[in-house]
Amino acid sequence: MVTKTSDSGTSAAFAPGRLPGYGPVGVIDIGSNSVRLVLYERLSRALTPLFNEKVLAGLGKGLAENGRLADESVEAALVAIRRFRQLADQSGATKLDVIATAAVRDAENGAAFIDAVTAITGGGLQVLSGQEEAKVSALGVASSFWQPDGVVGDLGGGSLELIDINGDSLGAGETFPLGGLRLSETASGSARKAGKMAADLLQSSDCLKASEGRVFYAVGGTWRALANLHMQRTNYPLHIMHHYTIPADEAFELCRMVVRSEIAAIDGIDVVSRSRRALLPFGAAVLEQVLKIGRPEAVVLSALGLREGHLYEKLSPEARAEDPLLVAAAELADLRSRSPRHSRELAPWTAGVFEALGIHETEAEKRLRVAACLLADVAWRAHPDYRGDQAVAMIANGAFTGVDHPGRGYLALAIFHRYAGTVSEAKLPAIQRLMPARLKYRARMLGAAMRLAYSLSAAMPGIIPRTEVVREGERIVLHIPRDLQALDGGAIRRRLDQLADLGDQASAVVIV
C-alpha cells in the first residue's frame, strides 16, 4: 500500500524507494575553489546522497596576492548558497549545516562574507581551523573505510591538511598553504616551482615521517581527477573512485609525468573535466612530494571527506561502531528484496554450507559473505535472463563504503552466480579481473549455495532455517523436515548436485 506523500517528499509511514527516519540532512561546504551542497537521505552510518551539486566560485582566487575574497567570487558563492538554501528547504531537510575552510578563514573580508552567508541560511557558519579541517576530513575517512591505518591528506584549493589515522584514533592535524589554487598563484603558474615549494614545506611534517610503508588516503577533487586519469591509462574495469588503490611507485611516476607535460598532450586527459585540468599539475606536484618524503606503500582514494566526517561526528558511539558495508547492504535489502528477513536468514545458513564443504573463511571473508547474503535478492524485478547482469551493475557500482574493489567484485560475482549459475570464464563480468582466485572460488560457491536456498524457500522467510546442509562421510547431505518434504524434487536435487560438484563432493537429500 502506498501512502500519501507529504510536501517534503517523504511519507508519514514509508516512501517507496526511500528509507524512513529523520532526514534529509544537508551540508553546504564552502571551499577555496568550490561551493557544494550535498543532501543525504538521513543521518546514518552509511550515508546515501539524495542530491549533490557544486559551483566553482573560486573564492580563493587572488587571495595569496591581496589577502581578500574577490568581489565576483563572493557574488558567485552567495548566488549558489541562495539556490542551495532553497533546494534544502524544498527537500524537507531537517538540518542544514554550513562549513567553510581555508579561503574564508584566511581572508581579510572573511567576516563580512560570513555575515552574508548567515543572512541567507538563517544559521551559523562554522569556519574550521586547519587542524579542525584535518580532523574532520580524517573522520570522513574513518566513516568510509573499514579499520583504516595510515595518513589522510585532504588537498583543497587553499590548503593541504595531513593527519594520522588508525581506526577511529586520530593524531594531531597539520595544515600547509599548498592548495592547488593557492599554489598556482604563489608559484606563478609553474608546477615545477610548486613542487619545490611543497618539498620545502613538507619536510617538517611529522605525519609524513610516520607514513612509511602505510597507506596514504587521498581526499580532494584534484587528486580524484588524477586517479581518474590513472584509471583511464590502465584500462581499469571499474569506474568507482572510492577505495581505488594505486601502488606508490605508479602514483609517483604519474605525478612526475603530469608535472612535466603539457596538459593537452597527456594521453587520456579527456577523462578529466576542463574545470579541473588547470590545477591538475599542482595537485600532482604536491602528491609527488608527499610520496617522495613520506614513502607510503600505496595511495588510496577517498570519495568521502569533510562533509561526511562532519556528519559522522554527530552519530552516537553505538552508530559509529556499526559496519558501514553491512548497514548499507541491509538498507538495500529492505528496499529491494522480496523478503528482508529471508536475506538475513541466508548468512547463518550459508555459514553451515561452507562448514559442510570444508571452506575456510577469514574474518574479512565472512564479513563479505554476510553482505552478499543481504544483497542476494536485489535484482529480482529484472527479466530472468538479465538478473545476473543487473545485480553486477547495481552492486559493483553501488554507493557502498567500507569495502575495497576486490571486495566489491566478490559481492557482485556471488550474486551474479546466484542468478546465472556457473558459467565459463569468458562470460564472467569484467570486475572479476580485480579478484584473486581465492575470492572467485568463494563467490562461485556462495552463489551455488544461494541458488539452492532460493529453490527451497521461493525467497520466503522461515524455511531455510529449518533445513540444513551437513557433511556425512564423503558426501554433503541436505536435511529437510518431514512436514516440508514436498519441497524435495528435481530442482532441489539438481542444485544440490551442482553445489556438491563444485566442492568435489557427492550429495544426497534426507527427510528428517
The tens digit of pLDDT for each residue in 45-95 reads: 999 999 999 999 999 888 888 899 999 999 999 999 999 999 999 999 999
DSSP string covering 393-429: HHHHTS---S--HHHHHHHHHHHHHHHH-S--GGGS-
Check residue 1 and give its pLDDT: 29
H or E segment at 317? helix 317-320
DSSP string covering 16-81: TTS--SS--EEEEEE-SS-EEEEEESSS-SS--EEEEEEE---TTTTHHHHSS--HHHHHHHHHHH
Check residue 7 and give its pLDDT: 37
Check residue 424 and give its pLDDT: 78
pTM: 0.91
Check residue 26 and give its pLDDT: 95
Cα separation of 321 and 48, whole Å? 18
CATH code given to domain 324-511: 1.10.3210.10
Q: Is the dihedral of CA 130, 134, 139, 141 positive or negative?
A: positive
Check residue 54 and give its pLDDT: 94
**131-309 matches 324-511 in fold:** no
CATH code given to domain 131-309: 3.30.420.150
Domain residue limits, the chain:
25-127, 131-309, 324-511
Selected from 3.40.50.300, 3.30.420.40, 1.20.1250.20, 3.40.50.150, the CATH number assigned to the domain covering 25-127 reads 3.30.420.40
DSSP string covering 284-295: HHHHHHHHHHH-
Residue 90's SS3 state is: helix
Cα separation of 157 and 344, whole Å? 45
Q: Can you list the residues of the chain whose pLDDT is less than 50?
A: 1-14
Q: Which cell goes with 308?
A: 561526511
Cα separation of 376 and 412, whole Å? 10
Check residue 15 and give its pLDDT: 54
